[in-house]
Amino acid sequence: PRKQSLRTLRASYNKGEPITVLTAYDYPSALHADLAGVQCVLVGDSVGMVVLGHRTTQPVTIADMIHHTRAARRGVASALLVADLPFGSYERSPAQAVDTALQIIKETGADAVKLEGGVSRQKSIAAIADAGIAVFGHVGLMPQAVSNLGGFRAMGRTSKEAICVLDDARAVQDAGAFALVVECVPNRVADVVTKALDIPTIGIGSGNACSGQVLVYHDMLGILNHPHHAKVAPKFSKQFAGLASHIHEAILQYCSEVKQRDFPDKLHSPYRIPDEEFEQFL
Ligand code: KIV
Ligand code: NA
């Protein structure tokens, strides 16, 4: 796949060609995304939910993000690599946001950082961009604000909320972000936001009018959709595969073959000792 940069993403946007974004959290998932030609790999703080087993993204730390982004970095050759700033690492002040963004970029080699918030984070986005770091915004549903929202829910379903989403999106653009995620807003609102901006909107749960799309790796592959542990992906996330049932079948088969002494068979017992060596050993 072609090496991606802010300029190649911009070229897709200018042609009206949808931009592909997928999350990844480690070497294999990043490699899979990169080899398939995904344009932008996002190490999301969704790592807290789909990899670390937390119920929200709030517990994710800077150390978690650095650990996972470093692993993803080793799997990405072509895509633009973006890392989320986790909850609590940038809200206090623009200076804190710059410190965290610099730390993550320097310690991981990510190409850009992403943070949630619009009007309320405009100064922080501008400060990070001024420090020389490419910034990805995130408006609409902002999962780090789950406590204030009272749960994960769609945003912009009233005119008042839709105006807030549009104001946030404009604030992110004016602050100097190169793109922004628009999460869980009605299609028609995402369409208006997309047309109002001149940077790409990357939709998730926000319909088909955005400048690109992002999904969570584990959700789109059905990795957590286990036959005996129904943890369903969000309803907007199409499952392009149902890996959990394949994984479950494979592990059942492994256990059964071990119990039966069918595994390992000859083919999977490759190491030989010559007869005379073996006789001396005995
Ligand atoms: O953390 C994440 O995976 C995200 C995407 C869903 C946009 O922020
Ligand atoms: Na995120």
Catalytic residue (choose from 161, 183, 249, 276) = 183
Q: Whose CA is nearest to atom 3 of ligand 1?
A: 44
Rounded to a whole number, what is the largest CA-CA distance in the chain? 86
Number of folded domains that form the chain = 2
Domain contains 1: no
Residue 274 forms part of a structural domain: yes
pLDDT in tens, 174-185: 999 999 999 999
User: Is residue 217 located within the same domain as residue 144?
Assistant: yes
In a domain, 106, yes or no: yes
Question: Does one domain contain both 261 and 236?
Answer: no
Cα distances from 115 to residues 16, 98, 179, 184, in angstroms, run 25, 11, 11, 16
pLDDT digits (tens, 9 = 90+) for 113-158: 999 999 999 999 999 999 999 999 999 999 999 999 988 999 999 9
Shared-domain flag, residues 179 and 259: no
> What pLDDT is attached to residue 225?
86
> Count H helices, E strands: the chain?
12, 10
Whether 183 sits among the annotated catalytic residues: the reply is yes
Residue 158 lies in a domain: yes
Ligand 2 centroid to Cα of residue 77, in Å, is 22
Whether 91 and 128 share a structural domain: yes
Task: Read off the pLDDT of residues 42-92 as tens digits, 9 standing for 90 and up.
Answer: 999 999 999 999 999 999 999 999 999 999 999 999 999 999 999 999 999
ipTM: 0.99
Strand partners, 181: 138, 202
Residue 274 Cα to ligand 2 middle (Å): 57
Express the helix, strand and coil content of the chain in percent, nearest 5 each: 45, 15, 40
| Share of residues in the chain with pLDDT > 90 (%) | 95
Q: Which domain holds residue 237?
A: 6-241
ω into 264 cis (within 30 of 0) = yes
Q: How far is the CA of 195 from the centre of ligand 1 (A)?
A: 22
Looking at the fold, whether 190 and 265 belong to one and the same domain comes out as no
Q: What is the DSSP letter of 117?
A: B
- Residue 201: count other Cβ atoms within 10 Å of its Cβ: 30
Q: Looking at the structure, tell me whether residues 75 and 198 fall in a common domain.
A: yes
Instruction: Provide the CATH number for the domain around residue 109.
Output: 3.20.20.60
Query: Residues with beta carbon < 5 A to ion ligand 2?
Result: 44-45, 84
How many other C-beta atoms lie within 10 A of the C-beta of residue 199?
20
40-43 and 112-114 beta bridge pairing: unpaired
Query: What is the average per-residue pLDDT within 99-105?
Result: 98
Say yes or no: 233 and 255 in one domain.
Answer: no
The tens digit of pLDDT for each residue in 208-267 reads 999 999 999 999 999 998 878 766 788 899 999 999 999 999 999 999 999 999 999 999
Q: 79 lies in a domain?
A: yes
User: In this structure, is residue 60 part of a structural domain?
Assistant: yes
Q: If we measure between CA atoms, which residue out of 232, 218, 240, 144 comes closest to residue 183? A: 144
Shared-domain flag, residues 211 and 252 = no
Residue minimizing CA distance to atom 5 of ligand 1: 44
CB 219, CB 233: distance < 8 Å: yes
Measure the CA–CA gap between 56 and 222, rounded to whole angstroms: 19
85 exposed, middle or buried (CB, 10 Å; 0-12, 13-18, 19+)? buried
End-to-end CA distance of the chain: 56
- Token pair for residue 211? 């400048």
Q: What residue type is assigned to position 6 of the chain? A: L
